[in-house]
Amino acid sequence: MIMENSKIRLKKDDNVQVVAGKDKGKTGRIIRIDRDKGRVIIQGVNMVKKTKKPRGQNEKGGIVDLEAPVDVSNVMILCKKCGPTRIGIAFDGDTKVRKCKKCGETL
């Protein structure tokens, strides 16, 4: 399912927690976001084994562990005060800031 005009309010390097799926409860930092497909890659979460061919003479092939994408609906950002929460948008003067929906702290 491709998400069109989706509002992904997460950013790279945000700390998030998985709230659904086989890795439920795990936390990690966002490495990459695919806004077209609505998926995120989180460090150390949803690990899969993948075979890799050696590309150069000094490079070794074999089985490597990689992070697979997780749907953005299955993750929530972590607030420092209250844990997993939703993101709200507020204006601080002329700038837009992301705020925690539970406690109102800036993320």
Residues 6+ apart with CB under 8 A from 56: none
pLDDT tens readout for residues 4-40: 556 788 989 889 999 999 999 999 999 999 999 999 9
Rg (CA), the chain: 17
pTM greater than 0.75: yes
pLDDT tens readout for residues 68-78: 999 999 999 99
CATH number 2.60.40.10 given to 15-79 = no
Can you give the residue ranges of every domain in the chain?
15-79
